[in-house]
Structure 1
Amino acid sequence: MQSKQSKGGKVRAEALSEDDRREIARTGARSRWEKEKVQGPVPKATHRGAVEIGSAKIPCAVLEDGRRILSEYGITQALGSRSGASKRIKKAGSESGSSIPVFLAPRNLSTFITKELADGPLSPITYKDGRRTLIGYEATALPKICNVWLQARDAGELQPQQLDRAFKAELLIRALADVAIVALVDEATGFQNERDRNELHRLLSVYLAEERLAWAKRFPDEFYRQIYRLKGWKWPVGKAKTPLLGHITNDIVYDRLPEGVLQKLRELNPTLEDTKRRKWKHHQFLSAEVGQPDLRDHILQLLPIMRISKSWPSFKRHLDIAFPKTGTQIDMLADYE
């Protein structure tokens, strides 16, 4: 249901002429340009997502300068602080030159907001997310924000209707106890793909086996039959299959596993000089706990895509949308075969 204010705003907008709308847009653009001249260019979000902390889901971003950001709106929602009084206090503060976030706007919290906190973690950060200009705060500020509410509660300064927000702040603090907020933001936005090689080593240590495992059938016959059908090849009567299957399997399976896995498998299972073939199967070097279950799940997801495809090019288009390789552009074609 629309409020009276939103209905009134809609009526006023509809009453504007086309020239009036253009002039309002030009005025807004000029205001943004002038602001950027004074404050410098607004940083852009290179990665975005939403972190889940307990039951809260907070939009986040990584900026081009590496800062991890939580949106003001998301923090506000997580603490349940969007009261009319808080918004009025924030507006009054903005007009007087003070930047008070909505989630800490109640006056009885001001005693617990130090100058160091206000000038540091609580300094708002304006950033671009596509065409939108948003306001956020450094991710590491979240525990400090929660502590303001908890300090006010412990001092007996909160009103009864504010105790629920302090309880939510306590839940957030507990949920953060075992998880680094920076790591959460990196995971949610996909920024972990650009971390240093130590992160890759940690992944490979659980994904790959320390010793080669005994051979076991990992690829069902259906997998190979579908490749032959999609390629238009005749299914072999004997056991011999085309050597091209190795390249195809690398392309549609191993190269779609986490980044770095195929490269490490090639190191562990190199091509022999005399035969130009590998002595072992790649899957024998995947760990039984993580790597092989992930391989099995990937193959099980590939088979339905193969079955609905009429040709190899059609299958590859479906595959590249469902499981794109790292760093590739997805060709979103509408006229699938």
Structure 2
Amino acid sequence: MHHLEAANTPVSSQADVRLDVSALPRISHHGTVRFGTLEAAAVVLHDGRRGFLAKQFAQVLGYIEKTQGRRFDRFLADFAPKYMIGKVKAGCPVLNPGHGRAHFIEAEAVMEAVGNVLRAAIAGKTHKQQARQVSACVEINLALGMVGLVALIDEATGYQYHRAPDALQDLISKLIRQHASDWQRQFEPDYYSALAKVTGTAFTSGAHGRPPIWGAITRKWVYEVCFPNEVLEEMRGRQDVGEKLHQWLTDGGVATLTKQKEAVRLLAVSSANYKDFEARCSVTFERPGQIGMIYQDAA
């Protein structure tokens, strides 16, 4: 698994020379996003798409200049296959005013690849040559979820000050359904097992009798990190008796929730105790609290 031969052409393909530069999507905002110790050149296109300059992001993943084009294409073909459907290479050409052409990789490709890399690593299906990519994906995963990624890019590029006045309503329409969906399990037993471990509470597979602290953790570190307060208030306003908040989420909202839930689960599993868990969450998700401490029993 994940040793596929890439059918993609290199990012630097000479075929791009024939493109009409004036017709290319244009970068309107740019800045630097930091994932822990890593930095990536983030951009927003004039049509509102967020992402990264492919060349620099390949370097974030540890690919060196001479070989990065083909190896980065192969990496995305292996780990972001949904994003790569119908695409012949990793990054689409865009116009970077004042700097000529560049290649752009969308945020959704990054999130798909990060999730698949971590799943493969946990299953022992990556090889030692991919150690740098696995390490980078761990840092990225701990730094953000999809909505967090969009917000991080907006902050880094200054785009947050240029969004249309109806941006909030647009976001609500993308995240919240018009009607609640039928109930489906969103929080699996392994999530609650991790919370039980880090809080020192008992775990049972039944739906009833869950300690209140689990709900508090889920509200604080999953929902409130994933979604702006205005979105949460809108969901709560629509919520009827017996309904769960996630029943009001669109497919995109559920995908965001799932990524954040997995990030919280991984932190819970790796934390020494509840104080350590809270400190790690505060640092990772940039919430106020104790930061940077390594507790004595973490050793």
Structure 2 length-normalised TM: 0.45
Q: TM-score, normalised by structure 1?
A: 0.41
Structure having greater relative contact order (Cα 8 Å, sep ≥ 6): 2
